[in-house]
Amino acid sequence: MTAGAAFSLPALLGAWIDGRPCAGDGEQWPVFNPALGRPVSVLAESSASQVDAAVKAAVTAFERGPWPRASVEHRQGVLRAIQAQLLRHAEELAWLECQNTGIVLRELRQRHLPRAAANFGFFADYIGQSAGQVYRQTPGYTSTVVREPAGVAALISPWNAPVALSSMQIASAIAFGATCVVKPSEQSPLAVLRMVELMHEAGLPPGVVNLVNGRGPLTGEALVAHPDVRRVCFTGGTETGRHIMQTAAGHLAPCTLELGGKSANIVFESADLGRALDGALLGIFSNNGQQCLAGSRILVQRSVFDDFVERFVERARRLRIGDPMDEATELGPLASQAQLQRVLRYAALAREEGGRVLTGGAAIPALGPGFYAEPTAVLVPGNACRVAQDEIFGPFATLLPFDGVEDALAIANASRYGLVSYVWSDHLPTVTAMTEGLRTGVVWVNTPMTRELRAPFGGFKESGVGRQGGAACEAFFTEEKVVTVPIVPPVLRRLGGQ
């Protein structure tokens, strides 16, 4: 083990199969600390045959293990024990996640880890309340609809919020009795693997949650293509999602895809402009700008545009950038060298497209070899340019003026994405017209990023397929079965009788 500041990093990471850690059987890859810009651990990839072993463990746990057959009370007890265990180890998980992703420790402590633990508590509560259906309209018969766990789920998550996103996938799958194989991003396996270990320490039976590590096109592909996988729950990029759905179609496994976004953050002159400014900064710069629901297209009504932009740029320049372990830091490094280069390429493209880079657009070598980028704000010539259309996935805001509700809707909806949108206005008719006209899965009014776990979360258009949240997860991770019973024995035609 390599010594860390407070906890320790594993020297070598592998898989977790049938309740036990298990050495990876494939190639080895470095695991980076993006703040230091150098590897801090090594990941041994799972080959297709190890993926097969993980799926087989999940199949055995599903067909013969106690979990899918356990009472709701029993499953609730284990889910709550996991919640408590994650809270007990929240500091360690936050530390590991910070080492591996560069997300600032304060955000991990305040947002990601409480949320990860709460996911298990939420689904424990949910399964205690879920109701079934009974139909008695057909005279003489009662038909009952029962939900049964769907089987083995493949759960694939990205690197931008590994523990928060994979905990939601895992909690929602196992709460309804499914078993699963988890595949985190090969860039960010540290905290997710430890979380899976902690879940077993809390009493989860072997084989219910298995984990494989490795590259998407190899380990992830083998998992999605496995014929015994009955559900695929994927969070990641739109192009990968498109490919995954095609692979899963080979064995007709239903998918939920939580994909990318280029969300509009729309500020009207009727808004509380101070709050709208705070919200716009949080919407694009929290989580180091790497979040699917980032408010990356900031649209501001023309009458207040210049003033708003000036204040936005001034605040962006004052962001405290640096070591994500430091409590005072507001913006940490990007997750990888590739992500840093991507952001810098888009800054260059913005200039080529006729945009004005108002602030940022460069790396910060003064902070050392870590993958630091300046917070960037670009005045774009129009919504059609690529920096206003592509998901950049970094601390990179585009700014554009609009005239009135119709114009705001036209610009906001002119995107191939449709994940979330933000509306800032205290004028009710404006708010109503916007919430009705926006083509996104979520509309946040006068608030940034408030997630309601009971409600369905997901995107329109190329931002996703399906939803996550209470009832949506129940529908996805279960199969419906109809049991029809006559109230009195029905008269049967006696085929072949005398």
Contacts of residue 17, defined as CB under 8 A and 6 or more positions apart, other chains included, come to 50, 53, 54, 57, 210, 211, 212
Looking up tokens 């449709």 gives 418
Stretch that binds ligand NDP, among 7-15, 119-127, 237-245, 428-436 (CB under 6 A): 237-245
Residue 351-370 contact track with ligand NDP, rule CB under 6 A, x = bound: --------------------
Calpha distance 88→123 (Å, rounded): 19
CB of residue 219 vs ligand NDP: minimum separation in angstroms?
A: 7
The yes or no reply on residue 151 touching ligand NDP (CB under 6 A) is no
Based on the shown chain and the rule CB under 6 A, indicate whether residue 240 belongs to the binding site for ligand NDP: yes
State which of positions 176-215 bind ligand NDP (CB under 6 A). 183-187, 215
- CB within 8 A of 306, min separation 6: which ones? none
Question: Binding of ligand NDP at residue 391 (CB under 6 A)?
Answer: yes
Considering the complex, what minimum distance in angstroms separates the CB of residue 133 from ligand NDP? 29
Size of the site for ligand NDP (CB under 6 A): 32
467 binds ligand NDP (CB under 6 A): no
Residue selected from 67, 120, 159, 396 as contacting ligand NDP according to rule CB under 6 A? 159
Q: Does 217 bind ligand NDP (CB under 6 A)?
A: yes
The four Cα atoms 176, 177, 178, 179 give a dihedral, to 10 degrees, of 140
- 258 labelled catalytic: yes
Alpha helices in 318-439 (DSSP H): 337-352, 386-389, 404-413, 428-437
d(CA 393, CA 417): 13
Residue 477 is a binding residue for ligand NDP (CB under 6 A): no
Sign of the alpha-carbon dihedral angle for 328, 4, 235, 214: positive
In the residue annotation, 473 being an active-site residue is answered as no
Q: Does 292 bind ligand NDP (CB under 6 A)?
A: yes
For residue 284, what are its two tokens?
């694009």
417 part of the interface to ligand NDP, by CB under 6 A? no
The full DSSP string for 20-89 is: EEE---S-EEEEEETTTTEEEEEEEPP-HHHHHHHHHHHHHHHHTSSGGGS-HHHHHHHHHHHHHHHHHT
- Smaller CB separation from ligand NDP, 97 or 186: 186
Which of the ranges 71-79, 192-200, 234-242, 352-360 carries the binding residues for ligand NDP, by CB under 6 A?
Answer: 234-242
DSSP count for the chain of H helices, then E strands:
16, 25
Q: Footprint of ligand NDP on this chain (CB under 6 A)?
A: 156-160, 165, 183-187, 215-217, 220-221, 224, 235-237, 240, 243-244, 258-261, 292, 391, 393, 419, 464
Residues serving a catalytic function are 258, 292
